[in-house]
Structure 1
Amino acid sequence: MLKKVFKSYDFPIFITVVLLCLFGLVMVYSSSMVTAVARYGEEMDFFYQKQKTAMILAFFLMLVAMIIPYKLYQQKKILMLMMSGIIGFLFLIFFIGHTAGGAQSWINVGTRAIQPGEFSKLAIIIYLAAIFGKRQHIINSIDKAVVPPITMLLIICALIAIQPDFGTAFIILLIAASIIIASGMSMKSLGKLLGISLIVAAIISLAILISGNFSEVVSKERVSRFTGLQTPFDPETIKDEGFHLANSLIAFGSGGVTGLGLGDSVQKYGYLPESHTDFILAIIGEELGLFGVVFVLGALGFIVLRGFVLAARCPDPFGSLLMVGISSMIGIQVFINAGGVSGLIPITGITLPFISYGGSSLLILMISIGILQNVVMRSNRLAEKKMQVKEKNIPM
Structure 2
Amino acid sequence: MIKKILKSYDYSLILAMLLLCGFGLVMVYSSSMIAAVARWNYESDHFFQRQAIFIALGLVFFCITMFFPYRAYLNRFFIRSVVLVSILMLLALFVFGSIKGGARGWFSLFGFSLQPAEFVKLSVIIYLAAVYEKKQSYINHFGRGVLPPIIFTGFICILIILQPDIGSASIIAMIALSMVICSGLGMKNIFKLIILGAACLVAISPLLLLKWDKIFTTERISRFAGFMDPFADAGDSGFHLINSYYAIASGGLTGLGLGESVQKYGYLPESHTDFILAIISEELGIFGVLFVLVLLAFIVLKGFQVARHCEDAFGTLLAIGVSSMIGIQTAINVCGLTGLLPITGVTLPFISYGGSSMLLLMLSIGILVNISMFVKFRAVHQKSDSKPAGESTGSPATI
Gap regions ≥5 residues in structure 2: 392-396
Matches for 1:1-396 after TM superposition, within 5 Å: 1-206=1-206, 208-209=208-209, 211=210, 213-234=211-232, 237-392=233-388
2: distance between equivalents of 1:199 and 1:98?
33
Alpha-carbon shift at residue 225 of structure 1 (Å): 1.4
Contact 2:306 2:375 in 1 (8 A): no
Q: Aligned partner of 2:291: which letter?
A: F
For the structure 1 residues 301 and 393, does the alpha-carbon distance in structure 2 shift closer, same or farther, using more than 3 Å as the test? Answer: same
Which digits, 9 at most, give the CA deviation of each residue in 1:328-352, with x for residues without a partner? Answer: 0000000000000111111000000
Q: Aligned partner of 2:288: which letter?
A: G
1: distance between equivalents of 2:329 and 2:212?
27
CA RMSD in angstroms comes to 1.5
SS in 1 for 2:387: helix
Contact 2:161 2:215 in 1 (8 A): no
1: distance between equivalents of 2:216 and 2:272?
28
1: distance between equivalents of 2:123 and 2:267?
36
SS in 1 for 2:108: strand
1: distance between equivalents of 2:45 and 2:383?
52
TM-score, structure 1 length as denominator? 0.96
TM-score, structure 2 length as denominator? 0.95
2: distance between equivalents of 1:113 and 1:349?
16
Contact 1:340 1:348 in 2 (8 A): yes
Gap regions ≥5 residues in structure 1: none
Q: Aligned partner of 2:222: which letter?
A: S
Contact 1:142 1:193 in 2 (8 A): no
Alpha-carbon shift at residue 198 of structure 1 (Å): 1.2
Which digits, 9 at most, give the CA deviation of each residue in 1:56-84, with x for residues without a partner? Answer: 11011101101111111111100001110
Contact 2:32 2:264 in 1 (8 A): yes
SS in 1 for 2:230: coil
2: distance between equivalents of 1:109 and 1:230?
38
Alpha-carbon shift at residue 215 of structure 1 (Å): 4.8
Alpha-carbon shift at residue 214 of structure 1 (Å): 3.9
2: distance between equivalents of 1:265 and 1:97?
35
Which digits, 9 at most, give the CA deviation of each residue in 1:226-285, with x for residues without a partner? Answer: 221232233xx1111000000010001111111000001110011000000000000000
For the structure 1 residues 207 and 353, does the alpha-carbon distance in structure 2 shift closer, same or farther, using more than 3 Å as the test? Answer: closer
Q: Aligned partner of 2:247: which letter?
A: A
